[in-house]
Amino acid sequence: MSDTAQGTGRRAWYEPDAKLKRRHAADRRLRAYGVAAIVFALTMLMTLVGTIAITAAPAVTQTMVTLNVEVPEGAVDPSDPRGGSYQKILNESVARIFPEVDTPRELRELRQLFSNGGQYALRDKVAADTSLIGRTFEITFPLSDIGDQLRKGVIDRDLPREQRRVSDEQIGWYDRLVEQDRISAPLNWGLIFNADSRFPELAGLWGALVGSFYALLICFLVSFPVGIAAAVYLEEFAPKNRFTDLIEVNINNLAAVPSIVFGLLGLAVFLNFFGMPRSAPIVGGLVLSLMTLPTIIIATRAALKAVPPSIREAAIGVGASRMQTVGHHVLPLAMPGILTGTIIGLAQALGETAPLLLIGMNAFITAAPDSMFNPSTALPTQIYIWADSPERGFTSRTSAAIIVLLGFLVCMNAIAIYMRKRFERRW
C-alpha cells in the first residue's frame, strides 16, 4: 500500500492520470451524442416542414380568368334571378373570344379550361344586382384545375402530347387568354373560406374549420369540467385504497389507448346505441373528449399536487371546509397548470384523425355545417380526403391544409407556454 503511494507520489497531485483523461473523454462523448441527437431531430423537422411548405407553395395563389359577359334581357327573369341558365351565357362569352372553335370535341375541351364554378359566380353576381341584366360587364372566376396547373408550371408543356393532361389546343387557348391579359393570380382566399368541392380550384377548408371548431368546443365543454371534477375528487377527497388505486392505473392506461379504439367505441355507443347523427361534430367532439379526458385528469392532478400543502393547511387552519379549501385556494392556484394541460389535450384532439374516420367525419360535404348536429368534416379528415383525391390541384392544397393545421397546433401550444410562463407561481 505504501509502495504504491510512493510510486504515484512521484507525480504531482495536479497532473492528470490516464483514468481522469478517460473520464473527461466520456463527458465530451456524451455531450457530442446529445448535440448530434438534437441536430438530427432538427434536420428531420426542417426537412418535413420544408417539403410540406414547398409542396404547398402553389396553393397560395389561384389562377383566375376575367371575361366580358353579356346577360341578354329575357335570358334571366329579374324576379327569379337564380333560375337563369348561366352556363349558356358564359359559353357564349367564351365563344366570342374563340370564334373559330366549333367542333363538339373542341368545344368540350375549351369548356374544360374554365371552372365549373364560373356559372355560380355569375349567378351570385346577377342575383345580388339585377340591374346587370341586359348589360355587358366583367366577371372574374377561377380557371379550372388544368388551367391553374398550366400557369403554375406543374403541367410541363414540353412533354409529348400523350404524356400530359392538356391538349395542344388547350395550351394555345390559354396562351391567347394570357395575351389578352385576362389571366390573374390573386391570393387564394378560397382555400380558407370555401367549403369542400370536387374541383380543386373551388375546394376550401371552411367546412373543416367550422367542423373542427364545433368538435373542439364540445370536447372542451365535456372534458374540462368532467376532467377537473374527477381529478379534484381523486386528489383531494378520495380515500387511498385499492379501488382508487385501480381507478388511477386505469386512467393512466386510458391515456395510452390507441385513438382508433375510441373511434370504435364512439361508433358503437354514440351512433349505434344512442342513434346520434353520423358525421356530426357533436359525435366527433364526444369521441375526442374521451381521448382528452385522461390527459386533462393527469395534468390536473399534477397541478393540484404542485400546490404546496402549507396552503391547504393554512385554509383548513382558519376553519375552511375541504370544499372551500379546494375551491378558494387550491384550484385557483392550480388553474394555470390545468389550463396548460387542457390546451395541450385539445391540440392533440385537433390533430386526431382515426376516431373521426370511424364516425364518418370524412364524408364529402360541400357546405359548412350550420350547427354541431349537421354532417361535417374536420381539419385532419379533410387532409385525409384531399390526400386521396386524384386531381393534381389537391396535391398542393393538401400540403396547404397541413400547414393550416400545424399553424393552429403551434398557436395552441404557444398559448399554453405563454400561460405557463405568465401564471407560474413560486412559493
Partner 1 sequence: MTMLDTTEASGMIMNKTADEAGALAKAVSTAKAGHETKIAASKVSVFYGDKQALFDVSIDIPARQVMAFIGPSGCGKSTFLRCINRMNDTIDICSVRGTIEIDGANIYDPKIDPVLLRARVGMVFQKPNPFPKSIYDNIAYGPRIHGVAKPGPAMDEIVERSLQRAALWNEVKDRLDQPGTGLSGGQQQRLCIARAIAVDPDIILMDEPCSALDPIATAKVEELIDELREQYTIVIVTHSMQQAARVSQKAAFFHLGNLIEVDETDKMFTNPSDRRTQDYITGRFG
Residues of span 323-342 touching partner 1 by CB under 8 A: 324, 328-329, 333
Task: Quote the least distance from Cβ 315 to partner 1, whole Å.
Answer: 7
Q: What is the number of alpha carbons within 13 Å of residue 113 lying toward its C-beta?
A: 27
Task: Taking the CA atoms of 205, 209, 210 and 212 in sequence, report the sign of the dihedral they define.
Answer: positive
Element at 177 (helix H, strand E): helix 168-179
The residue (of 99 and 309) whose beta carbon lies closer to partner 1 is 309
Radius of gyration of the chain (CA): 32
Q: What's the grid cell of residue 235?
A: 386528489
Task: Quote the least distance from Cβ 310 to partner 1, whole Å.
Answer: 4
Task: Quote the least distance from Cβ 313 to partner 1, whole Å.
Answer: 6
18 touches partner 1 by CB under 8 A? no
Helices (H), 233-359: 242-255, 259-266, 281-306, 309-317, 322-324, 331-351, 354-358
Q: How many CB atoms lie within 10 A of CB 137?
A: 14
Look at residue 181 and give its three-state secondary structure.
coil
313 touches partner 1 by CB under 8 A? yes
The residue (of 283 and 307) whose beta carbon lies closer to partner 1 is 307
- Give one word for 72, left, alpha or beta, with left for phi > 0 and alpha for psi -120 to 50: beta
Whether the Cβ atoms of residue 191 and residue 59 lie closer than 8 Å to each other = yes
Count residues binding partner 1 (CB under 8 A): 21
Taking CB under 8 A as the criterion, the residue among 95, 226, 255, 316 binding partner 1 is 316
Site string for partner 1, 190-229 (x = CB under 8 A): ----------------------------------------
135 touches partner 1 by CB under 8 A? no
Beta-carbon contacts of residue 375 (< 8 Å; ≥ 6 apart): 277, 278, 279, 280, 360, 363, 365, 369
406 touches partner 1 by CB under 8 A? no
- Cα–Cα distance measured from residue 389 to residue 400, given in angstroms and rounded to the nearest whole number: 15
Q: Which of 422, 406, 417, 424 lies closest to 344, judged by CA?
A: 417
Whether the Cβ atoms of residue 113 and residue 144 lie closer than 8 Å to each other = yes
Task: Taking the CA atoms of 110, 116, 119 and 122 in sequence, report the sign of the dihedral they define.
Answer: negative
Look at residue 183 and give its three-state secondary structure.
strand
Taking CB under 8 A as the criterion, the residue among 247, 320, 406, 415 binding partner 1 is 320
314 touches partner 1 by CB under 8 A? yes
Q: What is the number of alpha carbons within 13 Å of residue 99 lying toward its C-beta?
A: 1
125 CA to centre of own chain: 32
Stretch that binds partner 1, among 129-137, 157-165, 277-285, 306-314 (CB under 8 A): 306-314
318 touches partner 1 by CB under 8 A? yes
311 touches partner 1 by CB under 8 A? yes
Task: Quote the least distance from Cβ 325 to partner 1, whole Å.
Answer: 9
239 touches partner 1 by CB under 8 A? yes
5 touches partner 1 by CB under 8 A? no
Task: Quote the least distance from Cβ 219 to partner 1, whole Å.
Answer: 31
Stretch that binds partner 1, among 41-49, 264-272, 311-319, 414-422 (CB under 8 A): 311-319
Task: Quote the least distance from Cβ 340 to partner 1, whole Å.
Answer: 18
Taking CB under 8 A as the criterion, the residue among 152, 312, 392, 397 binding partner 1 is 312
Site string for partner 1, 240-269 (x = CB under 8 A): x-----------------------------
Stretch that binds partner 1, among 59-67, 104-112, 279-287, 322-330 (CB under 8 A): 322-330
Element at 172 (helix H, strand E): helix 168-179
Q: What's the grid cell of residue 312?
A: 391547504
The residue (of 112 and 244) whose beta carbon lies closer to partner 1 is 244
Whether the Cβ atoms of residue 294 and residue 251 lie closer than 8 Å to each other = yes
Stretch that binds partner 1, among 253-261, 281-289, 314-322, 353-361 (CB under 8 A): 314-322
Task: Quote the least distance from Cβ 235 to partner 1, whole Å.
Answer: 13
Contact set with partner 1 (CB under 8 A): 239-240, 308, 310-321, 324, 328-329, 333, 425, 427
